[in-house]
Amino acid sequence: MEAISLEEIEQMEDFIFHLSASQMMEWKANLKLNQPYIYEMFTKNIHTNKTTDELDFLFRMVFVTLKCFDAYGVKLPRFLDKDIGKADKRWKSLMMQGEGQIHYQNLMRVGDTVKQGLICKFIFDKFMQKDAPPNDSSLAKTQVKFNTLCVVVLLYGSKIEELLRYQNNAKRKE
């Protein structure tokens, strides 16, 4: 699986951040319908989003991330709670590697495992620019959002790799 380029990520960011409020409501409704567990991760499980602006920014970043994966042309199945649990477990395992390394390096390792380090770096940079944590509590708040998006990168990247491998194997058998 080839990595999504920074140019593709930035183009998707430009597109998503120009969506109107009503378009965002429609996109959220579609996400809730098609990927309810992903939707729930960002509406119920992240309790640190107190303002409308924070939630809007978070969902725009979610859609930038998810739409980048459309570049592979693979229709993803609806993810179940067990799929997210598996990705979360893998994420935690990757985060524990490299004892003594800083949090950022572990997060980049997460993206690199599915050849999507550029997406993880992009997300990290955007949250750090936006939140500009002046204290420990806002840094923790930023990390919760960033970490959750990295679990989604791992989930989508892993599933796409699996589906592409399956397609390639099926073509070889023909």
Query: 142 in a domain, yes or no?
Result: yes
First to last CA, the chain: 21
Quickly count helices (H) and strands (E) in the chain. Answer: 8, 0
Which pLDDT does position 23 carry in this prediction? Answer: 97
In the predicted model, residues of the chain with pLDDT beneath 50 are 101, 133, 135-137
On whether the CB atoms of residues 37 and 79 are closer than 8 A, the answer is yes
Specify if 20 maps to a domain: yes
Within a domain: residue 21? yes
Q: What is the pLDDT of residues 39-82, one digit of tens each?
A: 888 887 666 556 777 778 888 988 999 998 888 888 888 888 88
| Number of separate domains in the chain | 1
Question: Identity (one letter) of the amino acid at 91?
Answer: W
What domain range is 147 assigned to?
6-173
pTM for this prediction: 0.79
73 backbone φψ class: left, alpha, beta (φ>0; ψ -120 to 50) = left
Query: 1 lies in a domain?
Result: no
**Domain-located, residue 166:** yes
Distance CA 101, CA 61 (A): 26
Residues 6+ apart with CB under 8 A from 71: 4, 8
Write down the pLDDT at residue 144: 67
Placement of tokens 């990520």 in the chain: 9
Q: Residue 27 has what pLDDT? A: 95
